[in-house]
C-alpha cells in the first residue's frame, strides 16, 4: 500500500536517513525498531508530511506522493500519533480531535460545538473508551490523552476513501502495562480498517503487536523480519550489533582510577526523587548510573551538577562538605555539567565558539578587567586544534556546528574553567556513529587526565562500555553495583534485572 524507496534526509551536520526503503501492506502492523538516533522518528515525521525528503520517493497505492505538510498527509489517509504528546492542552478533547477540521461543523461561519462534541463522542466510542469530550485535555491522564490522539488520527476515516495508515511513534513510552494492553487491543481491532506503523524501542512490545519488523541502525534499514520468525534477543543483536564492542568504547584505553576521591555521597537524598544514595568517584574514574525513567538517576546527576539541592545525607567534593543551591557554586568547585539538550542548555547557540568556551570562566581571558579578544580567540583556536573540532574558526557561530562538534565545545568550556569533575547527561544523544566515537575518545582522554566523570546514557552498552563502575537505580534507590573494569564488564541482562 505504502512504499518508500531510497529515502535520504540530511540535517545540518548529520545524515539522519541514508537510503531507507520500507513498505507497508494493507491491514498490516509494521514494527520499526532501532536505538535512539537510528532515524525512526525522522522517518515517521517524513511520512506524516512533517519533513520533506532530500532524496527518494514515497508512493501510496502506486501513486507518487509529495507531502508538503501534515494536511497533505491527512488528505491521503496518513495520520500520526506523535512521540511527544501532541494535543493542545488548553483545548477540550473534542476541540483537539477536530482541530483543523472545524469546517465540517461550520455553517454560516459559526461552529456547531454540540455537533462536534457528538462526533467526538462517536469517535471515542469507536475505540471503546469513555472520556468526557468537553474536558480540558490538560486534566486527562497520559493514557487517556494517548487514546484521544488515536481517536484524532482515526477521524481521517470520515474524510478519506482509502484505508488509513496510522503512524504510532513510541506510543507506549508514557503508558503502564495495563494501558499498553488496552492500546494494543484497540490496534488489533482496528487492523481490519487500517494499517499501522508502530515505533518503539521495547522489543517485546514490537514483536507482540507487529506482523513484520524493520530494524534501523544509524540512519539505514539493516534488517526485515516476519515477527513470528524472530526473537527479541536476535533483534537486539542486530539493532545494537557492533562487531567490536570493546573497541567501540575504547575499553583498551581504560586505566585504573587514581586514589583521590573527588565526589563522595553518603545517604544522599532529595525528597520525592531519590534517597539513601551512596557513591564515590575517584580522580580519573567514570561512574555510570543505569535506570529507567523515574528511577532517580537523572536527579542524582542534577544534584551533583547543582540543579537540585539534596535534603538528606551528605555530599563531599574533593573532601569538602557541600550543598549546592544553584549551579554557580558547583562550577566554582570545579564541576562541569554537560546536558543532553545541547541546543537548550549546553551552548548559547548565537554566540561564537570562542565566546562559548570562555563563558564559564571569563577571568581566563580577562586582562586589566576587560575581555581580551585576542586571548579569547587564541584559546578557542587551541581547543579547536586539540579536540579537532570541525569549524571554520574560533568566530564561527555554534549553531552552525554539527552535534558532535558542539559537544566538544561544551567539553572545552569545562576544561577551560578547570573542571575536575564532569557530569555527562546523555553525552551522545542525537549524534551519529562517527561523532559518538569521537566523544568516546575524548571521554577517555579526560579520564586519563584525572577528571572524575559521572555518566548517564541512553543505552546500557554505552554505560557499561565507558564506565569503571556501574550503579543501577530503581524507584529512587541504588539496587545494584557492578565493577566494570576491562575484561570484567557486567552483562546487560544482569543490569536489567536490577533495573525493573
Site residues, another protein (CB under 8 A): 48, 50, 69-71, 74, 80, 82, 86-91, 95, 99-103, 106, 109-111, 113, 136, 152
Nearer to another protein, 110 or 177 (CB): 110
b/e code 223-260 from CB counts within 10 Å (16+ = b): bebebeebebeebeebbeeeeeeeebbbbeebeebeee
Q: How far is the CB of 328 from another protein (least distance, A)?
A: 16
DSSP state of 371: E
Nearer to another protein, 220 or 351 (CB): 351
Main-chain dihedrals φ then ψ at residue 211, nearest 5 degrees: -90, -40
Nearer to another protein, 71 or 226 (CB): 71
Q: What SS3 class is residue 337?
A: strand
Nearer to another protein, 219 or 339 (CB): 339
Nearer to another protein, 105 or 414 (CB): 105
Q: How far is the CB of 233 from another protein (least distance, A)?
A: 36
Q: How far is the CB of 139 from another protein (least distance, A)?
A: 8
Main-chain dihedrals φ then ψ at residue 378, nearest 5 degrees: -65, -40
Distance CA 458, CA 289 (A): 11
Nearer to another protein, 99 or 500 (CB): 99
Residue closest to 456 by CA, chosen among 467, 445, 442, 468? 467
Nearer to another protein, 70 or 182 (CB): 70
**Ramachandran area for residue 134 (φ above 0: left; ψ -120 to 50: alpha; else beta):** alpha
Nearer to another protein, 103 or 259 (CB): 103
Using an 8 Å Cβ cutoff, are 403 and 438 in contact?
no
DSSP state of 234: H
Q: How far is the CB of 429 from another protein (least distance, A)?
A: 20
Q: How far is the CB of 361 from another protein (least distance, A)?
A: 23
Q: How far is the CB of 73 from another protein (least distance, A)?
A: 9
Longest CA–CA span in the chain (Å) reads 79
Angle formed by the axes of helices 177-190 and 142-154, nearest 10°: 10
Q: How far is the CB of 357 from another protein (least distance, A)?
A: 23
Q: How far is the CB of 266 from another protein (least distance, A)?
A: 31
Using an 8 Å Cβ cutoff, are 324 and 330 in contact?
yes
Residue closest to 41 by CA, chosen among 89, 87, 80? 80
Amino acid at each position: 500500500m505504502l512504499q518508500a524507496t531510497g529515502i535520504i534526509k540530511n540535517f545540518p551536520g548529520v545524515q539522519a536517513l541514508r537510503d531507507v526503503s520500507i513498505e507497508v501492506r494493507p491491514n498490516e502492523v509494521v514494527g520499526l525498531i532501532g536505538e535512539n538516533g537510528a532515524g525512526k522518528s525522522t522517518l515517521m515525521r517524513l511520512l506524516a508530511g512533517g519533513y520533506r525528503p532530500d532524496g527518494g520517493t514515497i508512493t501510496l497505492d502506486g501513486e507518487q506522493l509529495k507531502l508538503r505538510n501534515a494536511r497533505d498527509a491527512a488528505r491521503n489517509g496518513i495520520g500520526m500519533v506523535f512521540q511527544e504528546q501532541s494535543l493542545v492542552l488548553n483545548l477540550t478533547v473534542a476541540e483537539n480531535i477536530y482541530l483543523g477540521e472545524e469546517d465540517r461543523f461550520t455553517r454560516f461561519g459559526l461552529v456547531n460545538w454540540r455537533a462536534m462534541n457528538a462526533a467526538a463522542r462517536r469517535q471515542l466510542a469507536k475505540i471503546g473508551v469513555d472520556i468526557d469530550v468537553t474536558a480540558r485535555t490538560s486534566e486527562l491522564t497520559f493514557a487517556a490523552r494517548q487514546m484521544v490522539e488515536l481517536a484524532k488520527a482515526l477521524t481521517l476515516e470520515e474524510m478519506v476513501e482509502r484505508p488509513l495508515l496510522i503512524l504510532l511513534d513510541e506510543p507506549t513510552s508514557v503508558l503502564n502495562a495495563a494501558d499498553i494492553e488496552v492500546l494494543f487491543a484497540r490496534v488489533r481491532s482496528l487492523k481490519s480498517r487500517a494499517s499501522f506503523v508502530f515505533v518503539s524501542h521495547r522489543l517485546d512490545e514490537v514483536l507482540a503487536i507487529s506482523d513484520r519488523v524493520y530494524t534501523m541502525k544509524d540512519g539505514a534499514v539493516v534488517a526485515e523480519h516476519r515477527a513470528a520468525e524472530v526473537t527479541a534477543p536476535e533483534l537486539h543483536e542486530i539493532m545494537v550489533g557492533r562487531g567490536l564492542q570493546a573497541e567501540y568504547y575504547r575499553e583498551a584505553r581504560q586505566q585504573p582510577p587514581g586514589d583521590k576521591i573527588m565526589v563522595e555521597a553518603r545517604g544522599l537524598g532529595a525528597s520525592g526523587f531519590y534517597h539513601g544514595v551512596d557513591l564515590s568517584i575517584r580522580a580519573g574514574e567514570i561512574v555510570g548510573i543505569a535506570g529507567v525513567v523515574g528511577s532517580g538517576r537523572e536527579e542524582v546527576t542534577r544534584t551533583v551538577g547543582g540543579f537540585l539541592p539534596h535534603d538528606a545525607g551528605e555530599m563531599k567534593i574533593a573532601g569538602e562538605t557541600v550543598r549546592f543551591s544553584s549551579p554557580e557554586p558547583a562550577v566554582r568547585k570545579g564541576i562541569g555539567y554537560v546536558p543532553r539538550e545541547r541546543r537548550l542548555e549546553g551552548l548559547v547557540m548565537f554566540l561564537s565558539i570562542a565566546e562559548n568556551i570562555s563563558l564559564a570562566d571569563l577571568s581566563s581571558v580577562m586582562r586589566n578587567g576587560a575581555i581580551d579578544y585576542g586571548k579569547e580567540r587564541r584559546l578557542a583556536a587551541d581547543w579547536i586544534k586539540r579536540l579537532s573540532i570541525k569549524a571554520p574558526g574560533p568566530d564561527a557561530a555554534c549553531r552552525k556546528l554539527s552535534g558532535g562538534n558542539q559537544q566538544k565545545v561544551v567539553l572545552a568550556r569545562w576544561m577551560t574553567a578547570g573542571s575536575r569533575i564532569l557530569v555527562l547527561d546523555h553525552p551522545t544523544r542525537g549524534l551519529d556513529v562517527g561523532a559518538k566515537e569521537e566523544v568516546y575518545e575524548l571521554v577517555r582522554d579526560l579520564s586519563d587526565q584525572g577528571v572524575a566523570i559521572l555518566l548517564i546514557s541512553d543505552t546500557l552498552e554505552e554505560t557499561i562500555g565507558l564506565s569503571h563502575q556501574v550503579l543501577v537505580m530503581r524507584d529512587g534507590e541504588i539496587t545494584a553495583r557492578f565493577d566494570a573494569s576491562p575484561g570484567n564488564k557486567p552483562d546487560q541482562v544482569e543490569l536489567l534485572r536490577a533495573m525493573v
